[in-house]
């Protein structure tokens, strides 16, 4: 049974040495990963680390022990990535002396390097896989210069998969494809939710009556794969059909923020949209879910989006695009209304149906609460740590 574990996620850490020592990251997923590995007698997190705090960081409540790799902000800093590679190899090689199992989340060149080192040292490797990786990169990389990187990104993903042939895998989303790739290894389908048992709503909430104002909410990165301009199209259509009735609160930041903000202003929609910016998971964000009448999620590609599950946990009706692991996460549509990606008419119709058929909406919300209770932080940590211990 594994007793000493490490996790690698391709996200930077920012450390304030203190005292007290503060460890932060902009990746909310690391809250979950740290909660899992803290159930082991000995655990570390492997990650590129800066000793300058990031803006609006997510503070890790129970700071992990870090194996610090050379820092680079993102893969566009090619020089720093390459220059730090020899030190990365040396640091990870030494760290493996004290580890039994390493849980490596795929998606970047360092994941490939670390997975290879783990196999060479004959330690147990567990891969963490995101569903629809190829689709994710195709939508994420925008413009001619960035699309040059698509080939290498897909090649790295393929090579990591090859290095991990036959190992156990955790997969965010439907695991059928990964079961075929694992070739004898076990597969755990993960649904990640940071909401705790005590934070799940206890009852279905009333929706506004016909003609009353409606509060919409969307949460997530404002990047190409999230299809943010469809949200702008949605607000424009709703404002045209029912002037002044709908208001959207938009929580998030990303590379398309300036473009989206300009588009909202150009179309005269500033009064119908409140741009909040990035907001870390916590009580304030959960309060936004609880105040909303409908949660909208319109990505081109997804694994299993945490924000959809957070909305379910807050008893907020959900309308989402049926991509990646979304359908499976919402019980094949029993807990949310699903629409095809990029289909504005279907999206508008689903919001209308949510507000018109209150009995059907209440049934979906109740089903969503059942889903959330099965996937709270406590439940997910218990399943994942048991899988990693074997």
* pTM given for the model: 0.83
Residues 176 and 235 in one domain: no
Q: How many domains does the chain have?
A: 2
- pLDDT tens, 252-278? 998 899 999 999 999 999 999 999 998
* Per-residue confidence (pLDDT) for residue 175, from 0 to 100: 61
Residues 346 and 321 in one domain: yes
Q: Which of 165-179, 243-257, 356-370 has the lowest mean pLDDT?
A: 165-179
* Per-residue confidence (pLDDT) for residue 146, from 0 to 100: 53
Residues 134 and 273 in one domain: no
pLDDT at residue 286 above 70? yes
pLDDT band at 144 (very low <50, low <70, confident <90, very high): low
The more confidently predicted of residues 50 and 241 is 241
Instruction: Provide the percentage of residues in the chain whose pLDDT is more than 70.
Output: 88
DSSP structure class, residue 197: G
Q: 107-143 burial string, b = 16+ CB within 10 Å, else e? A: bbbbbbbbbbbbbeeebbbbbbbbbbbeebbbbbbee
Number of neighbouring beta carbons within 10 Å of residue 18:
9
pLDDT at residue 306 above 60? yes
Residues 284 and 317 in one domain: yes
Residues 258 and 385 in one domain: no
Residues 368 and 234 in one domain: yes
Report in angstroms the alpha-carbon separations of 97 from 5, 85, 100, 168.
12, 19, 9, 21
Query: In this structure, what are the phi and psi dihedrals at residue 291, rounded to the nearest 5 degrees?
Result: -85, -15
Residues 181 and 252 in one domain: no
pLDDT at residue 2 above 70? no
pLDDT at residue 171 above 80? yes
pLDDT band at 137 (very low <50, low <70, confident <90, very high): very low
The more confidently predicted of residues 265 and 189 is 265
pLDDT at residue 290 above 50? yes
Residues 181 and 242 in one domain: no
Whole-number mean pLDDT of the chain?
Answer: 87
Separation CA 279–CA 154 (nearest Å) = 31
Residues 143 and 100 in one domain: yes
Q: Can you give the residue range of the structural domain that contains 123?
A: 4-192+377-389
Residues 217 and 321 in one domain: yes
Kind and range of the H or E element at 101? strand 101-105
Residues 201 and 185 in one domain: no
pLDDT at residue 241 above 70? yes
Residues 34 and 169 in one domain: yes
Separation CA 332–CA 177 (nearest Å) = 18
CATH of the domain at 277: 3.40.50.2000
């Amino acid at each position: 049974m594994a007793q000493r574990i490490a996790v690698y996620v391709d996200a930077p850490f920012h450390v304030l040495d203190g005292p007290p020592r503060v460890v932060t990251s902009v990746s909310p997923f690391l809250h979950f990963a740290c909660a899992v590995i803290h159930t082991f007698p000995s655990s570390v997190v492997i990650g590129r680390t800066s000793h300058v705090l990031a803006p609006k960081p997510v503070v890790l409540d129970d700071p992990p022990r870090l194996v610090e790799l050379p820092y680079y902000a993102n893969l566009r800093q090619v020089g720093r990535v390459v220059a730090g590679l020899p030190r990365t190899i040396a640091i990870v090689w030494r760290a493996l002396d004290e580890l039994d199992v390493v849980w490596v989340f795929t998606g970047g060149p360092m994941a490939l390097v670390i997975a290879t080192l783990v196999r060479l040292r004959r330690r147990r490797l567990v891969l963490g896989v995101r569903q629809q990786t190829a689709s994710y990169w195709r939508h994420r990389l925008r413009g001619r210069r960035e699309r040059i990187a698509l080939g290498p990104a897909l090649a790295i993903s393929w090579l990591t998969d090859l290095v991990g042939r036959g190992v156990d895998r955790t997969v965010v989303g439907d695991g059928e494809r990964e079961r075929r790739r694992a070739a004898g290894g076990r597969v755990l389908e993960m649904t990640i939710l940071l909401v705790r048992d005590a934070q799940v709503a206890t009852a279905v909430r009333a929706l506004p009556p016909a003609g009353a104002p409606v509060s919409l909410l969307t949460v997530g990165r404002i990047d190409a794969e999230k299809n943010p301009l469809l949200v702008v199209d949605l607000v424009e259509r709703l404002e045209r059909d029912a002037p002044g009735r709908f208001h959207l609160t938009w929580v998030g930041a990303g590379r398309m923020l300036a473009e989206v903000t300009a588009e909202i202003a150009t179309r005269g929609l500033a009064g119908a949209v409140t741009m909040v910016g990035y907001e870390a998971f916590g009580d304030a964000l959960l309060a936004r879910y609880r105040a909303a009448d409908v949660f909208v999620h319109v990505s081109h590609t997804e694994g299993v989006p945490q924000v959809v599950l957070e909305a379910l946990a807050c008893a907020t009706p959900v309308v989402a695009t049926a991509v990646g692991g979304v359908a499976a996460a919402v019980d094949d549509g029993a807990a949310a209304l699903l629409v095809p990606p990029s289909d504005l008419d279907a999206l508008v119709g689903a919001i209308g149906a949510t507000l018109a058929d209150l009995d059907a909406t209440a049934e979906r919300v109740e089903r969503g609460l059942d889903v959330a209770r099965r996937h709270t932080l406590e439940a997910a940590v218990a399943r994942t740590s048991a899988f990693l211990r074997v």
